[in-house]
Structure 1
Amino acid sequence: MLAPTPASPESAGMSKAALDRLEQHLKSRYVNAGRFPGTRLLVYRRGKIVHSTVQGFADLERKVPVREDTIYRIYSMTKPITSVAFMMLFEEGRVALDEPVHKYIPEWKNLGVFVAGTAPAFLTRPPSRPMLIVDLLRHTSGLTYGFQQRSNVDAAYREKGIGEVVKAGTLETLIEDLAKIPLEFSPGEAWNYSVSTDVIGYLIGKIAGQPLEQFLKERIFDPLGMSDTDFFVPADKAHRFAACYSADPKGGMTSHATERKGTLTLQDDPTTSSFLSPPALISGGGGLCSTVADYLTFCRALINGGELGGVRLIGPKTLKLMTTNHLPGGRELPELSRSLFSEAAYNGIGFGLGVSVTMDPAKTLIPGSRGEYAWGGAATTSFWIDPAEELIAIFMTQVLPSSAYPVRRELRTMVYSAITDSNL
């Protein structure tokens, strides 16, 4: 796929001085301060790359600098790709959003809702209604993540290693294990960040009749020319693979900015990483590695109504359906969320099918547009797409957890402040 050529910010209604200030902010506050090893930021507006910069190191131990083609663990930025893949099957009439999940996973038909107890002796009650496909796409399924650390249910996830950063088992064993653990709540009653998109990945394989990784390669990556996006990093690209760090001195995912002490802790060495070989569990919720250039290609297809360079992923009406708030009653995340962790701000934000959706920019207390959609990954990668402003922003670093610093809020504020010629 032909890449867009860089252009001056002014040619797309943006200020070079403001974008330079943003880059200096990242350098002084994060890179030079030792909070991030390095950063990669790209801003695209009105069909042009108006800002593309690298700074710092991809691998601190070996002093390997960040490059434009550095490969990152994008973790939950996998979710929008998997969700688009599922909607391709939806467009082909092979699945409907209001179908019960147990149509495709019969062993889940009698999943109960947690009342009391610990694994394996849970006390449950029947759900008020069956889990639907749409519940998986919008995270109202009743499933969870073990790292939420808020209930006996997510403790059972941790015991089984479900949804961990280092994947264990297979998609089939994931489905089998989930059949033995109750739901956090009745489907549709709340929003909770969860392994739901991994289940969507399983359903893609079952409905398409081919493994998820093969479907993504044949239907999305190869047609769009996303040659650096995969569930592992092959040997001939390993030298481009970034190290991953933790803001927690113990190397975990519990540190926040106010708690952080000491320097970055190496969490995943790129020379010994599990990402260097094909995984047994293909995680549609968080398993992909990619580059900024590849992810920009995917985003360009979305901002262009689902098509790029003659390759159509989904139709514009389906994309509109995905990027509309689907939370029950049209509510926002704060009203429905039981999640202690997410990749999105809450106030003024809803959730579509695989992405967060801005409903009321004023409530977010940062600049933005109604209808922009976004998501991020556990290692502080993020993107957002603003159709009204014809804007895409992609940020990459490799620091767990993404909640350690308010960098996403700062990026959005400073990128939007660089707009000199608004479409609104």
Structure 2
Amino acid sequence: MNPKLFWLKLSPPQILTLGFAALIGIGTMLLMLPVATTSREPLGAIDALFTATSAVCLTGLVVVDTATTYSTFGELVIMLLIQISGLGFMTMATLFALMFKRRISFKDRLVLQEAMNQTSVEGIVRLIRRVIIYTFVIEAVCATLFSIRWAFDMPAGQAVYFGIFHAISLFNNAGFDLFGQFHSFTGYVSDPLINIVSIFLIVSGGLGFVVLSDLIDFRQKRKLSLHSKVVLSMSGALILVGAVVIMVFEFTNPRTLGALDGGGKTLAALLQSVTPRTAGVNTIDITGMRQATQFFIVILMFIGASPGSTGGGIKTTTFTVMIGAVVAMMRGRQDIVLFHYRLAQERILKALTIALLAVLLVLTVAMILSTTEDGHFLEILFEATSAFGTVGLSMGLTPHLTAFGKVLICFTMFAGRLGLLTLVYALGPNKNKELYRYPEGKMIIG
């Protein structure tokens, strides 16, 4: 079949699904090359697939230690996969098209609309230009700050390399790190610069490019869209509540916050509240947390970041709509109203569908893993939720997964990165408009 005709026959969700799958396949083959490992021995196919999937899905879960297993070539492959996936392969294609002054077709705009989770194609190319600029500027500035700080701990060349790698990893909410032995950022638990820059990168990547664009234009327009208001208010609330809950639960725990001073406690609690949304780095030991804190982090990971961002989860807007539905029902109101705007029924049904599908996926994966893996149920639920939310936090189960468990987690990461509705639309039949409606029925609820 003519490739052009094949492209035209595919729907935007199918194009995105095939694109991410192809990127994972290329990454897997590159990571299986002998030059990609420090031992110069080819990595196993499943381990290479897991790492490539984790990088493309911006998760950060690993079955082998990144710093000690992969050579500089392997680390560069991982970094490139993170950057391409974070921007989106269609965004990268658009970048090259703009550079060579090629026309962006309407089909390309439809795919970009699906990739950026937008409601229309209007202004989509202008948004893509901003996405590219925002990404490289934020990453460059934060990479410079990281490099300056780490120049005090390591050679200058290595400090620059670490700065670039971790700026890309954190802004894209990927969670990969190069500190070795699965230690993540625990060596910098009380370092103000590392913590503040890390929080800024994670939050910036998790808010979404539409919100960043709105914030930059605020000085001129003097107003924010409803989407930006919901994202900013819910993100702020989750970060604040998360930090307070973690501080309360872990304040006296000697394995986490108990051994730190006041400033260290505050920085650690704040970062650990931000990182489940969905960055995957940590400055305190996840396995040393109390079970209540671990379960609370599961909730944060399930909610995730915001639409159009580099994060996963059901998204802050979905969570807000669900809360709005509960409040509206308790008050006896027919409509969900946010910031003096009424939400359409279609948006409400979409939010409920996403949330229900996510619950079913996480619970199904957790139940299956509980029969194939050796671990406590909370560890398994934590791992399954981390994979779906593309977070990357782990209670230590991932390196010990069976081959089947690794493949199942790969699928969960892929579904979480792509989006459940996008995956359903890609695998299911085309949506056709109904030509009739059934009579309304009544049933007892509750």
Q: Which has the higher strand share?
A: 1
Q: Which has the higher helix share?
A: 2
Larger radius of gyration: 2
For CA contacts below 8 A with separation 6 or more, give which structure has more relative contact order.
Answer: 1
